[in-house]
Amino acid sequence: MSDESSVSSFGFQVIEDALDDRYKILDKIGGKGLTRVYKAKDNTLLRTVAIKSIFFNAFAPAAQLELEKTRFYREVEVTSQLQHSNIVTLH
């Protein structure tokens, strides 16, 4: 097993632990900077979903962490207001 695949499966496990048993991570489908997007299965509604997560650098200054968190929540807020057949619904 390569270092990359072991990192990926470790990352999947961390995300799955945070999501409890509702979602099963299937694959990493994207990401840039501090965010990652995963393809997952919703075990309750039995459908495929996308899950976006943010990873913070625990050693970054508190002000930088707060700025990144604010940006992430702003993106969620703005995206949740969009309605189009080619845009997924946020939950």
Q: Name the residue among 35, 37, 38 with its Cα closest to residue 24.
A: 38
| pTM of the predicted model as reported, rounded to 2 decimal places | 0.65
Give dist(CA 39, CA 49) in Å, integer: 6
* Both tokens assigned to 23: 């979602």
With beta carbons less than 8 A apart as the criterion, state whether 37 and 28 touch: yes
Q: Return mean pLDDT, the chain.
A: 79
Query: 3-class SS at 55?
Result: coil
How many Å apart are CA 51 and CA 24, to the nearest integer? 10
Task: Say yes or no to pLDDT of 41 above 90.
Answer: yes
Report which of residues 27 and 9 the model is more confident about.
27
Distance CA 6, CA 1 (A): 7
Mean pLDDT of 1-23: 61
